[in-house]
Structure 1
């Protein structure tokens, strides 16, 4: 009896179980999960999640991932598979997944970038890829062979939409006013004082993020956008390391060492770099007095020789599963030697020689820079993207520089003179930041936070003239300038995404207090202003092959120390630059629509944008006593409308071509005193990069750059065409890599500017020349060769 009852009960239970399973299989199920990068664990936004029919192999339904990489969709299909894909990553397919209580929880789905499997090591894809996210593009530095041994400035010049001229000025889509960040935060290394970015080499860079329309979460500084340089940090467990050596001509020698030790609770990371480089610069300048026909012409060679050292030390301490504390520091030190030799000629109205003399310069400087940061992050247990982040960041930059100038007459009128200058510069910047992210459900996410930046600068600059064997201070060129700026900001954003459509909007409030003091004249400048900076972004995915994004943001460019400080640079004492303490900030409203296409072996991106800027800051030239003076002024408004095209085509595994083209037309309106600066003009630029895989495991790369000529408020700038090339070969089973690169192969990268006014004209020409570099890197422990990338593996 008991056995019969048990058998009957078991039969009934089994029947109920089978019935429930069939009901679950025949009913609707929910599929959830999060897509992240295999290397580094970064979320992959806008990845495609497809549910397909196994019989027809055609799609049934699908969705795209949110900003945090998460996804959720429902289906009543029975014989199905799930496929997850994104541009630049390998597809993943899942078959025979069994739901539990009507839900398939896929957890974290890790996508690998396209990669080549080697016997002992997984090496990243051969092409540096641009990933498109809701409010930014991510350029993975990858294996850009032509950047071997290059500084961060040279790496930036290979990034789509970015141009760096021979003076090191960075522009985005043809406009300056770019804010450059390191690891998402302001840094002394990105300032204008010295060749600060030169201490960061391509070996150390993981990726570059280009944000043309930043959301309200980001600092509003930078009218044309933000460039964020992300420094690599190894995340694999155990001991990892790599070493790199570079040498080149002109002298360009560097050494890099990366060490990492990761345990369950600690992650210790460090990078050391040292090197020496020479940066020669051929110059030519002509100042013409159009009133009396006289002119001053000069031709010379300048050097910037640098010995540099850089060390990064840091640790992550995992307090528990949800809380991590990071303490890191960065110290950089430069020793500069800047000799120059320039020959001058003074010509009369008939172009006859009046006098000729030679000016030599000897400049020595030391530039210590250090940065330290304490960061705390807490992940709440209720949701993986519910977190709180606090950071305190301190930066310091100093410069102690002395220069000696001597003018020696060669013929004609006596121009003998001796001068010396002294510079004592100190800058301290402190940034405190708090960010809070709260997802309310799968559709709604809120972000809020605040930031406080204190910037304190002192610049003591003195010029002495040798008179009767005694140095006498020149009061017209000597000053002590103090600069103190405080910016307090709070922001809030909300994001909503459902199915193929997503939206993100927010607003940022910033209050700025600026005080400057020119001690010699007791000239003060006090500015206090509060601004609102709204932003909005939206996206829609029409299909797996076509999607669109649109964005708006308001930005500001606050004049910095070098814009405001009325100090003089007398390297060429007939072409000097001074600041303007009365400058006002310029503001930009930026609009953009972007479409992304995936067409077989090609991926295309097309953008249309418009920027409207008020109180535009321009360098205005004046002429007095044969001397050209450049001074920044607020000159009216600028309307710029442009288009940008990015494309990549890989017809074969051994060949890839990438292109980047930008065109914009601008309308200038402005005046200064009685002079009107109204005009219309345009400019465009193009980059074309090809990569070839050759026999014997050799990779070859060539990158061509063209920047068109364009009109300025007082003259024009000439066009520029140059080519970079490189080759790489893996050795020692992929643990070692040798690189060879040539930048500016034909020595054709020349910067020419000309200013023409009623009473005077100026012409300036500068050229750096060809750079050849040879590099070797090797990975040890569990590490791999750096391959001049710094990507997490």
Structure 2
């Protein structure tokens, strides 16, 4: 571990000693619950009043578990607790021992007036801030109608999803995506597999730019944690949703939850059909021979999909809970495409043209199970022992046929066939222990063992003299076996003014790849330390600061390592590199949070230093561009980020997100220098309107500036989304309408150049319109369901 990391650990340990010395005022703690069912009441207002003057002294709000902590300067005070839909409560009698007033469980009584539970949810802030993360609450997004998880990520501050499905955080790729705090096979290849998760299934998305040592060190840019809903209201609750859209996006979703004293049973079902067209344009120019190959066409991904989630919580007693859940999804794909090719000589004359038609059929089974045992202790609700195990599988059985039809000239190309048999199985075993020593001091310890086993059997055949002949240069079976063992420890202190969390994680990686046909092996074995540290300081009730540091790793994924590729376009080829090494990153950030009556602002600066940066390097031969990931030097990035929420009037809210980064690249590959500097900025502006007759309107505008990598320039893009919602019967019935990419302007244009070539590519998804109707019964909320991929 570098001296910089050791120095940071020493400084933060010194900070802890000074923090723990601060404890002069009276600490007031408690937990707020509903009187009838003992459910926590989050975001309730807690005010401390002077007993003599009755003036407000200070205040706070309860967290998601209904808990609160604050300090009083003297013992002469009372508390007023309030929350919409409940009667206000005054607490004036309590005991003070050892400088602490432990109020225990405080039960609020509901007002008799029937309230709209969905409306309560809608009033919840869209973004919350915690010590080491930001939380984006999904329920308020109107334009999420018909969205899948990947599209929803694109609405999260600091996150950008390209049209190709690549996820970046603050302009950098290498993001780790978690599902309920755990790695998932459906997040391993986001562009193709996050369709299994739909908007109505998601409770919130957590953005963790500097994760603590409790989390996997994977992901150099940080972590995005997708937290799924698991309704725990008593009784029978559920919702039914029907969606339709253009292009084809038709689905029916059903969610059901049953809560009893001992069991919490939950299930979600979905079935539908979707079509995802994409227009492509490519041009390959040979600058030595002055020849050009152009191609234009439209490709489709048509899918029938079926999805079921089933699970249960079993409450053994008040302290022990077992949770078992499973998810099974099955997709039937049909991918027709037609591409027109043209070949021009050095004089610019058309030499030949042809049409390449693709017919692809595939089936994709996916399953996942989770088993978790949680043990609580009587001394504290936060004293926990948690054991969990998870298994997941993704398979693809795909067959493609490519037929070439000449339209001009005498160039000849063979018809081709491909077959893919892909299987990926992963298993995770985790043990986590949390021990609070007081209301302010907490320790965490844990370990994790991760196993990934993958096989990709890929065959290419050419039609020669009327017979299908296997191409040995493009056919092989790629095996990928990775094991990662990690242990961690963290220490946290959280007071009214100061907060600190520091930790250290150790991970050992054992990676083996094997090309069975050619008997090529690659082994990587390494052990690393990953420290993390966070400090928070509350300057006043409206101003807070956070300072964070973490060390991260980005291990090459399967498709980064697999050297075999899809031959959809013989002139534009992407393949993996089995000898790719991991990236390492040190990340520092300082953020400030200001919360006023009508506006909240989060702003910060960050510095990110990455070594062994993985870049896509393009080579060129015979008008064919081949792009392969390579480790190319270092990258330093300095940036500024700001997010705000402004509510000047009750019926209008404005949210904004801005990020600017300046980077310096230093690197060399095959005697070619890739040193350069550049910058990139992104912005998002969202307007939310509450209209008469229970209509709600949301308009989102996005802009991403142009930016440069080692060989390419990616053009700027601006696009907008719109959502409209009508609530009926106090929100139990909801009509949703959305238009994504209103102006059909969200494209991805890339210009790649070298000494002897120039490659242009442009890809466009186009406009998507979705109409949905949702009905919630019991205490369920009418939300949305869709199987949309992006």
1:344-373 alpha-carbon deviations (Å, 9 max, x no partner): 000011211010100000011111000011
How far apart are the structure 2 equivalents of 1:41 and 1:614?
48
The 3-state SS of whatever aligns with 1:146 is helix
How far apart are the structure 2 equivalents of 1:772 and 1:183?
30
Contact 1:162-1:171 at 8 Å conserved across structures: yes
Contact 1:408-1:415 at 8 Å conserved across structures: no
TM-score by length of structure 1 reads 0.91
Q: Any residues of structure 2 matched to 1:593-632 within 5 Å, and which?
A: 593-632=590-629
- Matched residue, 1:669: 666
Contact 1:552-1:590 at 8 Å conserved across structures: yes
Contact 2:41-2:62 at 8 Å conserved across structures: no
Q: CA 1:285–1:53 in structure 2 vs 1: closer, same or farther (change >3 Å)? A: same
Q: Any residues of structure 2 matched to 1:288-367 within 5 Å, and which?
A: 288-367=285-364
- Matched residue, 2:278: 281
| From 566, 584, 590, the counterpart of 1:569 | 566
Answering whether residue 382 of structure 2 is matched by residue 385 of structure 1, we say yes
How far apart are the structure 2 equivalents of 1:261 and 1:209?
27
TM-score by length of structure 2 reads 0.91
Range with greater deviation from structure 2 (93-102 or 220-229):
93-102
- Matched residue, 1:76: 74
How far apart are the structure 1 equivalents of 2:230 and 2:199?
14
- Matched residue, 1:98: 93
1:386-443 alpha-carbon deviations (Å, 9 max, x no partner): 1100001001010000000011110012334200000000010000000000011223
Answering whether residue 227 of structure 2 is matched by residue 230 of structure 1, we say yes
Q: CA 1:537–1:174 in structure 2 vs 1: closer, same or farther (change >3 Å)? A: same
Contact 1:253-1:276 at 8 Å conserved across structures: yes
| From 160, 164, 185, the counterpart of 1:163 | 160
How far apart are the structure 2 equivalents of 1:694 and 1:749?
29
Offset of residue 100 of structure 1? 3.9
Contact 2:165-2:191 at 8 Å conserved across structures: no
1:714-767 alpha-carbon deviations (Å, 9 max, x no partner): 020001100100111011332100011100001111110010111001000000
Contact 1:143-1:787 at 8 Å conserved across structures: no
- Matched residue, 1:522: 519
Q: CA 1:166–1:117 in structure 2 vs 1: closer, same or farther (change >3 Å)? A: farther
Greater Cα radius of gyration, structure 1 or 2: 1
Q: CA 1:498–1:600 in structure 2 vs 1: closer, same or farther (change >3 Å)? A: closer
- Matched residue, 2:776: 779
How far apart are the structure 2 equivalents of 1:35 and 1:537?
28
- Matched residue, 1:684: 681
1:274-321 alpha-carbon deviations (Å, 9 max, x no partner): 111111000000000001111000000010111111110001000000
Offset of residue 111 of structure 1? 10
How far apart are the structure 2 equivalents of 1:125 and 1:442?
31
How far apart are the structure 2 equivalents of 1:214 and 1:42?
27
- Matched residue, 2:490: 493
Q: Any residues of structure 2 matched to 1:397-436 within 5 Å, and which?
A: 397-436=394-433
How far apart are the structure 1 equivalents of 2:462 and 2:523?
33
Q: CA 1:155–1:491 in structure 2 vs 1: closer, same or farther (change >3 Å)? A: same
The 3-state SS of whatever aligns with 1:197 is helix
Answering whether residue 658 of structure 2 is matched by residue 648 of structure 1, we say no
Answering whether residue 603 of structure 2 is matched by residue 638 of structure 1, we say no
Q: CA 1:529–1:92 in structure 2 vs 1: closer, same or farther (change >3 Å)? A: farther
1:592-634 alpha-carbon deviations (Å, 9 max, x no partner): 1110001220000001111100000001000011100000000
Contact 1:33-1:72 at 8 Å conserved across structures: no
How far apart are the structure 2 equivalents of 1:362 and 1:129?
44
Offset of residue 384 of structure 1? 1.1
The 3-state SS of whatever aligns with 1:684 is strand
Q: Any residues of structure 2 matched to 1:162-181 within 5 Å, and which?
A: 162-181=159-178
- Matched residue, 2:758: 761
Answering whether residue 239 of structure 2 is matched by residue 242 of structure 1, we say yes
The 3-state SS of whatever aligns with 2:186 is helix
How far apart are the structure 1 equivalents of 2:782 and 2:63?
34
Range with greater deviation from structure 2 (631-640 or 121-130):
121-130
How far apart are the structure 2 equivalents of 1:101 and 1:751?
63
Contact 2:434-2:445 at 8 Å conserved across structures: yes
How far apart are the structure 2 equivalents of 1:592 and 1:56?
42
The 3-state SS of whatever aligns with 1:563 is helix
Contact 2:308-2:328 at 8 Å conserved across structures: yes
Q: CA 1:618–1:361 in structure 2 vs 1: closer, same or farther (change >3 Å)? A: same
Contact 2:46-2:79 at 8 Å conserved across structures: no
- Matched residue, 2:212: 215
The 3-state SS of whatever aligns with 2:195 is helix
Offset of residue 125 of structure 1? 2.1
How far apart are the structure 1 equivalents of 2:471 and 2:184?
34
Task: Mark the runs of 5 or more structure 1 residues left unpaired by the alignment.
Answer: 1-27
Q: CA 1:127–1:492 in structure 2 vs 1: closer, same or farther (change >3 Å)? A: closer
The 3-state SS of whatever aligns with 1:124 is helix
Range with greater deviation from structure 2 (95-104 or 492-501):
95-104
| From 437, 440, 456, the counterpart of 2:437 | 440
- Matched residue, 1:506: 503
How far apart are the structure 2 equivalents of 1:52 and 1:459?
66
